[in-house]
Structure 1
Amino acid sequence: MTLLRRLSAGDGTSRIVCLPYAGGNGTVYESWTAWLPSEVELWAPDLPAREQRMLEAPVEDMDLLVATLADELAADGRPTSLFGHSFGSLVAFEVARRLQRRSLPVNCLVVSGMAAPQVLPDRHAPTDAEILANLRSHGVAPPEFFQQPDLLELVMPGLRSDYRMAMGYRYRDGEKLSARVCALGGTEDTGVPAEGLAAWAEQSGTGSATRMWPGGHMYLLSHAEEVAAYVIGCHMRSIGRPLQSLEG
């Protein structure tokens, strides 16, 4: 099973891999390609049970998802940074840990919209109603999305699997990452307070940073260019190629 695909054109000497929120897919990051330096590639998952792979069975096991992504990344020796939003932050973190255990550490880990894993409370697997209520509250989909039973029937398998992996995630102690960890969030995201983001500093042995933008849990959609610039800047600094024009 192949999960990753390249979003950008051309061949780069390094890459950024972006992991989406629960129920999302890599296409949410396609706009970022407009702001990439020519030497950097942008990659993202093309996951089962959504978009072109809608009829495939979803990945339901977090360890399998992480292992598959890590195997694909390990096959390529180029410098790699990871970005994840919400559930994608937990996936990116565990992929970074797995690669480091294989002596293939990522250059930088940027997490977004998720408190540090060691401070997360135990959470229960949500019902379909709770999943849809969560999507509504975050503004992930337009109102008409929730009024189309046939469409909901198609997308619910992927949503269920992602939410169950996210809510079933349990942190395990491990070695600190050698990569710098940067934690991003929205100032109005009540579910991810500033102290939850700051706690990510405990996961890095080399340094950390925290940055917040106006908005709620999905702040990155309305600040796409700024967030992309920040992530690209973090990556470029991690490979010794800072760009003065990028934020960070």
Structure 2
Amino acid sequence: MGAGHAHKLYRHGHSPVHALPPHCKIAAVFCFVLAVVATRREAFWAFALYALLLAAVAFAARVPAPFLLRRMLIEIPFVAFALLMPFVAEGPRVHALGLSLSESGLWSAWNILAKGTLGVAASALLAATTELRALLLGLQRLRMPPLLVQIASFMIRYGDVIGDEMRRMRIARESRGFTARGVRHWGVLAKSAGALFIRSYERGERVHLAMVSRGYTGTLPVIDDVTATRAQWAYAAALPLAALAVCLTGWTLS
């Protein structure tokens, strides 16, 4: 997989959660999200328990709440979409604070907000306690298609390179007195985007030729492989098993 690659989503630490093998954590988060999605939307208490479970994991991982909340801001567009649903959905209406709201839209908005927020929080915790390189190794360990793992690896490795290329192009434009202020400047930005695409494509060809010249045959070598003990699997399974118990209890009490 190559050398390690630090990322702003990752928070370095030495907690028991950090020490778990990556494929254990990926499987645990995946099963936790499945249990959350399968929960009845009317079981408000269940979602509160899910939040407490994630809070317990964050406490064990020594991940501060502000750090986690900042990484969850990516959810804002989905929150905005959910907040619009009570106004645009059809069906019986309810009146609150002088507003006419759709009853089905309210339920749908709550369903999206509750389950989406828990899923984003679980993913943010996974990223905060697992390096990106380790995540790729974990996906490979879980038998993810090798081609998808390679694509993700190259995206991580060269995303910053393309970002730096964009920054240099912006500085070059500004040094020549260009400032995008309206529609009439879109043509220049479009040409810059085209130039960036060509440079990225050519860079990709050079990288591929360099890999082939070093013996690349379609699969990347695994420098190190991490195995998990039964105790580690049991520790990782605590979160999804607790979530499954909450989910089943919610359906039983319905």
TM-score normalized by the length of structure 2: 0.25
Q: Determine which structure has more spread, i.e. the larger CA radius of gyration.
A: 2
More strand by share: 1
TM-score by length of 1: 0.25
More helix, by proportion: 2
Greater RCO structure (CA 8 Å; 6+ sep): 2
